[in-house]
Amino acid sequence: MIWGILGLLVGSFLNVVIHRLPRGESVIWPASRCPHCHTPIRFHDNVPLLAWCWLRGRCRSCRASISWRYPAIEALTSVVFMAVARTTPDLFTLAHHLVYASALIALLAIDSEHYILPDELTLGGLVVGLAGAAVTPPALPERLAGAAIGAAIPLAIAVGYRRWRGQDGLGMGDVKMLAMMGAVTGWAQMLLSLTLATFSGAAVGLLLVAVEGTSLQRPLPFGTFLSVAGLVSLIFGDRIIRWYLGLLV
């Protein structure tokens, strides 16, 4: 339960990051405020999840609607924190993975709305991932390999697509994000995340074509799919990899 409560608190902060970081604003100062009238939010109106419910999704001051994203991010972070805590044996690894999960959740929301993956999260996560080798597995060589492979695969795809189609297919944000994911989890889980994201992204793209009649050229926020796949891999990755290897025996 303590990890779920911590997740609610971190999720509340992630909402600030998600709103302010793409706008180039400080995530530290000023204190939380209404995104419409900019009135500072009172302490008792800033209780994660509950405050949005008892205010019925509206600002107390201006009565403007507050996006459902706020309670959704808080609830998601709480669930993810509890799931990661259940599958992580030691405290150092848990702390490392919770920071990583928080970055993925922020990237998920930012990319889905703005189609950008801020360097503060991707490159910052890359540094934290490599530094984590000092206190928790995987070892530094595996993390370096994960970062290198994670950057090389999307970079090769982006260059090849650019030469073939004359336009960008993957952005450099995806390159940096996969490098970060490889630096945190190592190359095996990074490749699992990339595989899951590729198939889920393709499935969603084909579904949109079938339902809405949109073009196959419609851009999709691939970082969002990478974030979801990264969370799945973080929680279930070892079991998925063992299951897959068992099929090959």
Please write down the HEC assignment for all residues of 199-243: HHHHHHHHHHHHHHCCCCCCCCCHHHHHHHHHHHHHHHHHHHHHH
Same structural domain for residues 94 and 153? yes
Same structural domain for residues 100 and 59? no
Same structural domain for residues 51 and 127? no
**pLDDT at site 146:** 97
Give the total number of structural domains in the chain.
Answer: 2
**pLDDT at site 31:** 82
Matching residue, tokens 């290897």 = 245
Same structural domain for residues 147 and 168? yes
Same structural domain for residues 134 and 216? yes
Same structural domain for residues 105 and 70? no
pLDDT tens-digit profile, the chain (249 residues): 899 999 999 999 999 999 999 999 999 888 888 888 888 888 777 888 888 888 888 988 898 898 999 999 999 999 999 999 999 989 999 999 999 999 999 999 999 999 999 999 999 999 999 999 999 999 999 999 999 999 999 999 888 877 877 777 678 999 999 999 999 999 999 999 999 999 999 999 888 888 876 666 677 899 999 999 999 999 999 999 988 888 876
Same structural domain for residues 140 and 200? yes
**pLDDT at site 130:** 96
Same structural domain for residues 53 and 111? no
109-129 burial code (b ≥16 CB/10 A, e <16): bbbbeebebbeebbeebbebb
**pLDDT at site 45:** 76
CA atoms of 128 and 155, how far apart (whole Å): 22
How many Cβ atoms are within 10 Å of 82's Cβ, its own excluded?
A: 16
Same structural domain for residues 121 and 218? yes
**pLDDT at site 111:** 97
Domain that holds residue 70: 1-87
**pLDDT at site 203:** 92
Same structural domain for residues 115 and 237? yes
**pLDDT at site 30:** 83
**pLDDT at site 105:** 98
Same structural domain for residues 104 and 222? yes
